[in-house]
A and B are shown apart, each in its own frame.
Chain A
């Protein structure tokens, strides 16, 4: 294909046709400022912060959407450009609360950084607007529309990536707003609480609900026994919050840091991921034998469960009755662990650290109390854990390395890969094929279900019969897969769905990143971890075996059912009710 040649600030650059001026400039180390544009979402064109001068053009052009063309001469920081950019930012600031000191995004706010970078101040104009109410209607996210700069990123991710469209543009002109229909709180919409909107919002207009103080309080209460579990995806990303390159495995530093924070026991959600596979594998084999309610669909992603309940309640019978690993661990901590350690479960505060904001919602579901107590008391996201460590003055790289505590800290490689799309499927196939064929899969690493294609399918031969599986991540991909199944175009035995793009490693509570390779880098931590494990099949986990021997009996036993399984309902929000 013909290459496009142009001059940017007097420097020649060559790009493929279709590349924007923004991309062309970055190619030669010129970083044109942006605000509404996000590389993972494409588009832009709303804020005009990225304007440049193009010789021969009548007006300044938006570099994030304007394609580079042959012979173009672009100036990225002429006086006209600098003035226009500063004006854009000052107009935004004019209607913006001057709240930076108390804002959750203070440190990471793109608007605040941009204002500093462009030397724009709020003082020149002031435009008073009616202050819309803060929406704290749900356990996962807080929306403060007064800070919204109408960039549209949340609308795009919610509608295009997640297919939920809980939020959209409304009104026009000075009254223009972004939010749910009718100005309702999020809790009244079909929002699944995946938090992808909070992960792409450039400012503090949608943030994760901050539960760090509840944890600090528990930690400083001597009457409480505070335990924590950590999901696989957290160790693959937490380092980014402390300046380590993406893809650094910080498992042992993280455990050391949690002990320094004062947790009485640090457990690994990978243990209960293994446990999930044993239970779900058992369920799958039963369905495979009876041929009923196939395909079995995974249940470990609470964003997906919310989606199923809100949009596809007719599929509830297909979804595995297994709780997510977080909730299984919660139930086991306040029963088995409490008994083993001789601790009154009443005094246990069970904390979990998750890449996921929907896990906050899940932990508060009324039925999640099978231990006789709230199974999980507080859920923190990866970003909140980082904030706690910073507040406590604990630098991850300086923390002493440590290992998870027993008995709920042991895990196999199968539990580790739970954090990435395809991982639950791969982990299940390893154990299911062992159970059916009596020997491990010839190739333990199930390549066809790996990768980041939105939809993947494979046929795996297990004990002489073909097992057809499919994997989807990102809910609009999941919707497409479900449609194919419901139209009868495809038949599968087993389907994995994770709500977030990339799976948990791309969760809404993970460190903010615009690196297009971020998911691959984080996934590599988990795949390396898997390879380094002594055991790589969930049922080989010795601690899981002991749990069955000493407490649960058999997979699928009545006690296992009571503690580790759940049922689904149609969410009773007004939106879902009609």
Chain B
């Protein structure tokens, strides 16, 4: 039988940049326009807002800051903290805090990777999951801990992972 979630935390984010997101993006660009070295902080703030950096947003930033698009793309692909892929529909977190680690979080992470199909950027090809390694979530007594869309699963054995993920289509 599939394991039940033991609680929730709220960390959902929007996936497509809608007009309100683009408006915020423009505000960030406006705040940095004409400043030296603006590109990286702008990309950073915009990613916070939009969740990722799609083409249309990168083009907006390039035009807004008068930086060639090739350079913007170069920076985004150079630093692993930037991503051009939208987050998956469901967000998986694997805790790598000391307690979870000691209780076998590494094996759990591997199991989540293979069950979710997450690529190097943590996002599965079908856009279903994005996988993130988190720091201690403060549930050490329940280690190792896995969270999906904020729902916390405790003392997860690697074999239990596929059944948990099946609940998130």
Give me the interface of A with B, judged by CB distance under 8 Å: 159, 164-172, 180-182, 189, 575, 578
Contact B77 A171 (CB under 8 A): yes
The stretch that binds A, out of B2-10, B63-71, B125-133, is B63-71
**Is B55 on the interface with A (CB-CB < 8 A)?**
yes
A-contact bits for B46-76, CB 8 A (1 contact / 0 none):
0000000001001100010000111111100
Contact B70 A181 (CB under 8 A): yes
Contact A172 B73 (CB under 8 A): no
Q: Give chain B residues whose Cβ lies under 8 Å from the Cβ of A169.
A: 74, 78
Contact A182 B71 (CB under 8 A): no
Partner of B70, one of A168, A171, A172, A578: A168
Contact A165 B73 (CB under 8 A): no
Q: A182-B55, A578-B59, A578-B63 are in contact. Are A168 and B77 (CB under 8 A)?
A: no
Contact A168 B78 (CB under 8 A): no
Q: Give chain A residues whose Cβ lies under 8 Å from the Cβ of B68.
A: 159, 164-165, 168
- Quick one: closest A residue to B63, CB to CB? A578
Q: A171-B78, A172-B77, A172-B78 are in contact. Are A166 and B70 (CB under 8 A)?
A: yes
Contact A181 B73 (CB under 8 A): yes
Q: Give chain A residues whose Cβ lies under 8 Å from the Cβ of B71.
A: 165, 168
Roughly how many angstroms separate A180 CA and B69 CA in the complex, as a whole number?
A: 9
A selection of 5 A-B contacts at a CB cut-off of 8 Å is A170-B73, A181-B72, A181-B73, A181-B74, A575-B69
Roughly how many angstroms separate A92 CA and B59 CA in the complex, as a whole number?
A: 33
- Most A CB contacts (10 A, CB to CB) among B69, B70, B72, B74 go to B70
Contact B78 A182 (CB under 8 A): no
Tell me if B's interface is mostly helix, strand, loop or mixed. helix
Partner of A167, one of B59, B70, B78: B70
- Quick one: closest B residue to A578, CB to CB? B59
Contact B78 A180 (CB under 8 A): no
Additional pairs, 13, CB under 8 Å, beyond known A170-B77, A181-B72, A189-B70? A165-B71, A166-B70, A167-B70, A168-B70, A169-B78, A172-B77, A181-B69, A181-B74, A182-B73, A189-B69, A575-B59, A575-B69, A578-B59
Roughly how many angstroms separate A166 CA and B68 CA in the complex, as a whole number?
A: 8
- Most A CB contacts (10 A, CB to CB) among B58, B68, B71 go to B68
- Quick one: closest B residue to A171, CB to CB? B77
Contact B73 A168 (CB under 8 A): yes
Q: Give chain B residues whose Cβ lies under 8 Å from the Cβ of A164.
A: 68
Roughly how many angstroms separate A484 CA and B77 CA in the complex, as a whole number?
A: 35
Tell me if A's interface is mostly helix, strand, loop or mixed. loop
Q: Nearest 8 CB-CB pairs, A to B?
A: A168-B70, A165-B68, A181-B73, A181-B69, A171-B77, A170-B77, A168-B74, A181-B70
Least Cβ distance of B30 to chain A in Å? 17
Q: A578-B59, A578-B63 are in contact. Are A165 and B70 (CB under 8 A)?
A: yes
Roughly how many angstroms separate A170 CA and B68 CA in the complex, as a whole number?
A: 13
- Quick one: closest B residue to A183, CB to CB? B73
Least Cβ distance of A157 to chain B in Å? 13
Contact A180 B77 (CB under 8 A): no
Least Cβ distance of A152 to chain B in Å? 11
Q: Give chain B residues whose Cβ lies under 8 Å from the Cβ of A170.
A: 70, 73-74, 77-78
Q: Give chain B residues whose Cβ lies under 8 Å from the Cβ of A165.
A: 68-71
Q: Give chain B residues whose Cβ lies under 8 Å from the Cβ of A182.
A: 55, 73
Q: Give chain A residues whose Cβ lies under 8 Å from the Cβ of B58.
A: 181
Least Cβ distance of B64 to chain A in Å? 11
Contact B63 A180 (CB under 8 A): no
Q: Give chain A residues whose Cβ lies under 8 Å from the Cβ of B78.
A: 169-172
Roughly how many angstroms separate A164 CA and B55 CA in the complex, as a whole number?
A: 19
- Most B CB contacts (10 A, CB to CB) among A167, A182, A578 go to A182
Q: Give chain B residues whose Cβ lies under 8 Å from the Cβ of A578.
A: 59, 63
Q: Give chain B residues whose Cβ lies under 8 Å from the Cβ of A181.
A: 58, 69-70, 72-74
Least Cβ distance of A294 to chain B in Å? 27
Roughly how many angstroms separate A166 CA and B74 CA in the complex, as a whole number?
A: 12
Q: Give chain B residues whose Cβ lies under 8 Å from the Cβ of A189.
A: 69-70
Roughly how many angstroms separate A168 CA and B77 CA in the complex, as a whole number?
A: 11
Roughly how many angstroms separate A169 CA and B55 CA in the complex, as a whole number?
A: 17
Q: Give chain B residues whose Cβ lies under 8 Å from the Cβ of A171.
A: 77-78
Least Cβ distance of A487 to chain B in Å? 15
Roughly how many angstroms separate A57 CA and B70 CA in the complex, as a whole number?
A: 37
Least Cβ distance of B156 to chain A in Å? 33
Roughly how many angstroms separate A189 CA and B59 CA in the complex, as a whole number?
A: 12
A-contact bits for B78-90, CB 8 A (1 contact / 0 none):
1000000000000
Least Cβ distance of A128 to chain B in Å? 18
Roughly how many angstroms separate A362 CA and B77 CA in the complex, as a whole number?
A: 34
Roughly how many angstroms separate A123 CA and B163 CA in the complex, as a whole number?
A: 50
- Quick one: closest A residue to B58, CB to CB? A181
Q: Give chain A residues whose Cβ lies under 8 Å from the Cβ of B55.
A: 182
Contact A180 B59 (CB under 8 A): no
Least Cβ distance of B18 to chain A in Å? 18
Roughly how many angstroms separate A404 CA and B68 CA in the complex, as a whole number?
A: 45
Least Cβ distance of A145 to chain B in Å? 14
Roughly how many angstroms separate A225 CA and B39 CA in the complex, as a whole number?
A: 57
Roughly how many angstroms separate A575 CA and B58 CA in the complex, as a whole number?
A: 12
